[in-house]
């Protein structure tokens, strides 16, 4: 399989910022409780206004899907990825970050989002300090139990 990035291709001007990015990320998480958010789910405001039930339904669907995926990942009778030591990596992530290491929702991500919004405004990327609540449709403010 052909490598797909300059880093993978060994470009001399492309490299990692940290020699051991996992150690740096773990240290940062232990000190701050923050692990950068990797993905977001967006919904057009017009759709949410036309279908006020839709934001909560999407959160519920993705939360259930994540629960199924993590259940399959934890089933070590036949691992789902071809990664050596996947069981140990999963245990390490849970030991460090808890069972819900890819948490969804406003409250579960408040510290990370608040930190992001602080820096976003401080660096002049937003004209005012946005509140975490503004990022989420009101129908999704409450924690979903799956």
Let me know if residue 34 belongs to a domain. Answer: no
Distances (CA, A) of 79 to 67, 70, 75, 102, 124: 16, 12, 7, 19, 45
In a domain, 124, yes or no: yes
Q: How far apart are CA 7 and CA 11, in angstroms?
A: 6
What distance in Å separates the CA atoms of residue 145 and residue 63, rounded to the nearest whole number? 9
Residue 27 lies in a domain: no
Q: Which domain holds residue 112?
A: 39-140
Distance in angstroms (rounded) separating the CA atoms of residues 96 and 135: 27
What pLDDT is attached to residue 77? 80
Q: What is the pLDDT of residue 2?
A: 55
Supply the pLDDT for residue 95: 96
Q: What pLDDT does 119 receive?
A: 97
On whether residue 44 sits in a domain, the answer given is yes
Has residue 146 been placed in a domain?
no
Sequence-ordered list of residues with C-beta below 8 angstroms from that of 126, at least 6 positions apart, any chain:
117, 120
Averaged pLDDT for residues 111-140 = 96
Please count the structural domains in the chain: 1
pLDDT at residue 131 tops 90 = yes
Is 15 a member of any domain?
no
- Whole-angstrom distance, CA of residue 9 vs CA of residue 13: 11
pLDDT at 3 over 90: no
Look at residue 87 and tell me if it is in a domain.
Answer: yes
Write out pLDDT tens, residues 27-73.
Answer: 999 999 999 888 888 999 999 999 999 999 999 999 999 999 988 88
Residue 83 resides in a domain:
yes
Q: 74-111 pLDDT, tens per residue?
A: 887 877 788 888 889 999 999 999 999 989 989 999 99
């Amino acid at each position: 399989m052909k490598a797909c990035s300059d880093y993978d291709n060994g470009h001399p001007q492309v490299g990692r910022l940290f020699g051991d990015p996992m150690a740096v990320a773990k240290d940062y998480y232990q000190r701050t409780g923050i692990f950068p958010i990797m993905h977001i789910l967006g919904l057009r405001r017009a759709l949410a206004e036309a279908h006020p039930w839709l934001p909560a339904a999407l959160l519920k669907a993705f939360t259930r899907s994540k629960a199924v995926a993590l259940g399959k990942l934890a089933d070590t009778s036949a691992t789902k990825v071809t990664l050596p030591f996947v069981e140990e990596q999963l245990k390490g992530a849970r030991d460090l970050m808890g069972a819900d290491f890819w948490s969804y929702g406003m409250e579960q991500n408040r510290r990370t989002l608040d930190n992001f919004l602080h820096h976003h405004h401080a660096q002049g990327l937003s004209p005012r300090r946005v509140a975490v609540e503004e990022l989420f449709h009101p129908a999704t403010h409450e924690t979903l139990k799956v």
